Amino acid sequence: MYFSCINCEEKYSINENIYTCRKCGDLLEVKLDIQEVKRKIKDEKWRSIPISVWRYSAFIPIRDYSKIITLNEGGTRLHFCQRLAQELGIKSLYVKNEGDNPTASFKDRGMTVGVTRACELNAKNLICASTGNTSASLAAYAAKAGLNCYVIVPSGKIAYGKLAQAIIHGAHVIRIRGDFDQALKMVFKFSCENKDVYLLNSINPFRIEGQKTLSYEICEQLNKPPDWIIIPVGNAGNISAVWKGFVEFKECGLIESLPRLAGIQAEGAAPIVKAFEKRVDIIEPIPNPETIASAIRIGAPVSWKKALKAIYESKGVAITVSDNEILKAQKDLASKEGLFVEPASASTIAGLHKLLKFNIIKRDELVVCIATGHGLKDPDIVLKMIDSTIEIEADLNSLINLIKSV
């Protein structure tokens, strides 16, 4: 097992404290020793552990599993969405609800592994840039580990629920007069120059090692991989992690086929879709990205190269959706399936509509949409968009008259 540079394939020991390749500066990824993993999973004991991130310890490069920092992440529900499926005219639609995680987003999968790694390295200070969810998650895991935490967020551009989470968990919350892309550049440079501050953005390969468990869980919950995974793309770590998970499960003989990936971006923040549309291997960053889905308001995704590779390798696609399509999908999922997800997550349902219309996804294919975060993190959007409450006098007649009239 080792780190490998995704560009020049330079190898580094897994014990090194590095984020990027010293030779070419590109991202690193963990290469597992698949034979070793196969040996470990032969012992069927892991199957008696309920689905969760740490059920898959054999796939996670941590030294001492008795010292993990955990809030019981993963094991999120996979919902069969019959009403929406019927409306869309497809056979099998599932939503994997990552809002079930301890801080209500998928980030917890990566953070339990990343913060455990931080403890192995004896780090005392943790840092991240965030559009909201990463900061909420890191703050909670830093609290659990008793470590100092700095989170850098774009001022005025983060959902209130997420900000409240970071504050209550005791993080130093620093708002910059700039966007996420600037915040990430700052924290990356800072943590490279200050080795006593450990970086926990998804540029850190250990985050990806936790997030990939999302795919293992889906395979086990369905007893097979789906035909399609539809997933929102911001900084592009998660789509890369999800692909790594499926590929590893296949390499270990646990599944026979791989799904196709559909990466969804908002119209105003879509550098990966633009590259995909031109079928090129490089992105052009988008200055001043804009979308109502603040979680994915990102113009220069750090993991773009991993993401494009995942999309091309899976014979997948990348498409955009508009803010209005996102809001409609958010309402549909909540009012027809009982699932309240944040706008970035709803982009997957909006994307599914388009992919069916374009005949890219066929109506008999098995589709899983990844709902990455809970809707309660960003209630402002709903209250701003839909004011459908009715006020009456506090007497029974007013109530009777009202109910008769609606």
**Site for ligand F0G, rule CB under 6 A:** 105, 130-134, 202, 232-239, 295-296, 342, 344-345, 372-373
| Smallest separation (angstroms) from ligand F0G to the CB of 162 | 7
- Closest CB to ligand F0G among 38 and 157? 157
What does the buried/exposed string (b/e) look like for 137-161 if buried means 16 or more CB atoms within 10 Å of the residue's CB?
A: bbbbbbbbbebbbbbbbbeebbbeb
Q: How far is the CB of 146 from ligand F0G (least distance, A)?
A: 23
| Residue 105 C-beta: closest distance to ligand F0G, Å | 5
For ligand F0G, give the closer residue by CB, 158 or 219: 158
DSSP conformational letter for 50: P
Min CB(65)–ligand F0G separation in Å: 25
Nearer Cβ to ligand F0G (62/266): 266
Residue closer to ligand F0G by CB (options 21, 236) is 236
What whole-number distance in Å separates Cα of residue 225 and Cα of residue 246?
8
Q: What is the DSSP letter of 54?
A: G
Of residues 132 and 268, the one with the C-beta less far from ligand F0G: 132
Residue 28, H or E segment: strand 28-31
- The structure tokens listed for 258 are 């791989």
Encode burial over 265-286: b for 16+ CB neighbours within 10 A, e otherwise: bbbbbbbbbebbeeeeeebeeb
What's the min distance (Å) between Cβ of 56 and ligand F0G?
A: 19
Shortest spacing between CB 148 and ligand F0G, in angstroms: 19
Place of tokens 């944040």: 342
Query: Residue holding tokens 């690193």?
Result: 28
Question: What is the separation of C-alpha 335 from the centre of its chain, rounded to a whole number of angstroms?
Answer: 23
Tokens encoding 143 = 């609290």
Residue 188 and residue 114: Cα distance in Å, rounded? Answer: 16
Q: Between residues 37 and 231, which has the closer beta carbon with respect to ligand F0G? A: 231
